[in-house]
A and B are shown apart, each in its own frame.
Chain A
Amino acid sequence: MKERLKNRGSDVLVAFSHAETAQRPRDEDVASTKALTPLAILLLLAMATLVFSPLFGMEFIPFSATGQEHKILMDIRIPRVLCAFVAGAMLSLSGMSFQALFRNPLATPFTLGVSSGAALGAAVFIRTGLAFVFLGISGTSLAAFGGALIAVVLVYGLTRIKGGFTTTTLLLAGIAISFFFSSLILLIQYTSGLSHSFRIIQWMMGSLTAADYGKLVNLLPFLGVGAALLLFLHREMNLLMVGEDIAISRGVNVGRVKKLIFLAASLMVGGVVAVCGPIGFVGMMSPHICRLLVGADHRFLTPASFLFGGLFLAICDTLARSLLDTTEIPVGVITALLGGPFFIWLLLSRKNELEL
């Protein structure tokens, strides 16, 4: 009897300690609430950007516009803002995943040479003059995806051989690959006719001028698959960020996860580059700012990077088409003007090599 009472006593104790555990605010939950407020603000800002950006351009067009102006708003500006948003989101997500994979804040589609790889893929495709559509996706997009994938594998292999993802190795490998691919693009340009050459130059500057609903449809599958993969892999990216050996010992199938991240990031870079050309710096700035806003946990970082990247490029593109009265500035110029100083600040401010 005493024995049973004693047992019941300890049961009650266990139940009590569980209740206490349940009531005390958990650090993990505190982290969630801390991240939710900036996420909600980002969501509101993103919606505001999507609603109001189409109004701005060389001429301001109000919602109430009719006739020709209404047509410009509906058929040109709205799809263009949507394209800019989706492209920005994709670049931002790919930058975020590269940073987790290489454990380095300077790893981005641009610095790793992945944008150049995608551009080369697309340039080769444009040069051949082929045009085909596979499952509603243009051949240019698929070629750019192929180029991006090759660049990712190359840069990863190079840094791997050098043993470690230090900033120096990473930047050197990225620069080498960038230059190599850019030279190949120049060669293709040089040997192609005037019309092909002009198309390649125009598109290499990174611009959203050609954006329409068709381009948007071309972007969406790349965004869908890439973002879904990254959302699915949030725990794995957290562990990879801490270290590959830790990730392995926690039970992450690192080989498979890396391939999936390569796939997701290359899909998104390839998808964007084929449509808008290589737009730089979004993939570096956006995840970094989001890390300051919501923390390093990819459960929150992924949606935050999506939203911030999207609204950032949509705003940059709005600036690109409204700043000058007579002509448009390529959006890549705006992102680079903002991104260059940011890049230098990042390079100078980091205390620790491995700190994201």
Chain B
Amino acid sequence: MNSPIIQIENLSIALSGNMILQDVSFSINNGEYVSIIGPNGAGKTTLIKCLAGIYRDWTGDVAIDGKPFAEYSSKALAKLQSYVPQAEGRTNPLTVSEFVAMGRYPHLSAFTTLQATDYAAIDSAIERAGLEAFRHRKMNTLSGGERQMAFIAAALAQGSNILLLDEPSTFLDYRHQARVSTLLKSACRESGITIVAVHHDINTAAACSDRIYALKEGAIAFSGTPAEAANSNVLESIYDTEFRTVPSPGHPLPFVIAGGAL
């Protein structure tokens, strides 16, 4: 359970001449929910994209499940990990179930059709995301929240053990934020899926995570438990702005509010 499934050592990457990440090292254990927080431009999205194999020209050592990243073929990597990009109104003309079915790509070859195991994975992903009523709807007719659930469902249908997400609940209304959090937490706790998620909202990150890493100016600025992160001094050093913590009755963690003067 506590063996590292992702090990990152001295990961550095420059994009169009600017150093975005510099010597980032950390590891993520199997079955953990890890949140990555940090100010805009700290390199959170870049880090997730490096892990997802979208940016390839980084330096350093990354091992997934004990094997160096470069030794995986595209499909082999996709069987181990899936990725949910930032939503930002991305649409396509496929139906929800067609889109979710495309998550099965790494398990198929060019001329095989979907098998019973594929259908089972697709159905289960759609059901877990609560999208049964939207199966036949086209992706470009969905609301932002439903579409985000479909993106997560497609990633779940991929059947991989690691799920990488880039701001899964940003731009969503409160109900969909809650649906996303519940779905991700249940995937982690009940199915043992390792989750690495970039979060903008510290309270969401703290409520879901086992561990939190903060990036600042391309380097790890903090690592610790949610309880350690929900501390105004820690957050002020990460974000360079004032924070307050307010006790949240019935919850173990305090509620974090940015902006001291308000």
Contacts and interface: CB of A to CB of B under 8 A. Distances in A.
Nearest to B101: A28
The 9 closest A-B pairs by CB, nearest first: A251-B78, A249-B83, A251-B106, A27-B97, A251-B75, A250-B105, A253-B74, A296-B93, A242-B92
Contact of A297 (B94, B119, B123, B135): B94
B59 interface: no
Contacts of B102: 235, 238-239, 242, 250
A250 B110 contact: no
B245 interface: no
Contact of A245 (B52, B81, B97): B52
Contacts of A249: 52-54, 78, 81-83, 85, 155, 164
Given A27-B136, A251-B105, A352 B74 contact: no
B114 interface: yes
Contact of B91 (A232, A250, A291, A354): A354
Given A27-B98, A253-B73, A245 B49 contact: yes
A252 B105 contact: yes
Binding site of A, secondary structure by majority: helix, strand, loop or mixed?
A: helix
A244 B91 CA distance: 13
Nearest to B151: A246
Interface string A227-263: 0000011110011011111101111111000000000
Interface string A293-310: 001110000000000000
Interface of A: 18, 21-22, 26-28, 30-31, 232-235, 238-239, 241-246, 248-254, 291, 295-297, 352, 354-356
Contacts of A254: 74
Nearest to B110: A232
24 contacts: A18-B120, A21-B119, A21-B123, A27-B101, A27-B136, A235-B102, A235-B105, A238-B94, A239-B105, A245-B49, A245-B52, A245-B83, A245-B85, A248-B54, A250-B103, A250-B158, A252-B74, A253-B75, A296-B94, A297-B98, A355-B92, A355-B93, A356-B92, A356-B93
Nearest to A234: B110
Contacts of A30: 136
Given A27-B135, A31-B98, A235-B105, A246 B74 contact: no
Interface string B104-131: 0110101000101001100100000000
B99 interface: yes
Given A21-B119, A27-B97, A253-B73, A248 B53 contact: yes
A242 B100 CA distance: 12
B197 to A, nearest CB: 14
B95 interface: yes
A27 B92 CA distance: 17
Given A243-B90, A296-B92, A355-B92, 18 more contacts: A18-B120, A21-B116, A21-B123, A27-B98, A27-B101, A28-B114, A31-B95, A242-B92, A242-B99, A248-B53, A248-B74, A249-B78, A249-B81, A250-B82, A251-B74, A295-B93, A297-B94, A355-B140
Contacts of A28: 97-98, 101, 114
Nearest to A235: B105
Contact of B78 (A18, A243, A250, A295): A250
Give chain B's interface residue range (CB within 8 Å of chain A). Answer: 35 or more
Contacts of B136: 27, 30
A251 B79 contact: yes
A244 B56 CA distance: 14
B77 interface: yes
A238 B139 CA distance: 14
Contacts of B53: 248-249
B33 to A, nearest CB: 19
Contacts of B81: 249
A354 B140 CA distance: 10
Interface string B49-85: 1001110000000000000000001111111011101
Contacts of A22: 116
A235 B108 CA distance: 9
Contacts of A248: 52-54, 74
B119 A355 contact: no
Contacts of A295: 93
A27 B97 CA distance: 6
Contacts of A251: 74-79, 105-106
Contacts of A291: 93
Interface in B139-164: 140, 155, 158, 164
B154 to A, nearest CB: 8
A70 B105 CA distance: 53
Contacts of B155: 249
A24 to B, nearest CB: 9
B142 to A, nearest CB: 13
A238 B105 CA distance: 10
Nearest to A252: B74
Contacts of A27: 95, 97-98, 101, 135-136
A241 B90 CA distance: 11
Nearest to A17: B120
Interface string B4-16: 0000000000000
Contacts of B158: 250
A101 to B, nearest CB: 14
Contacts of B77: 251
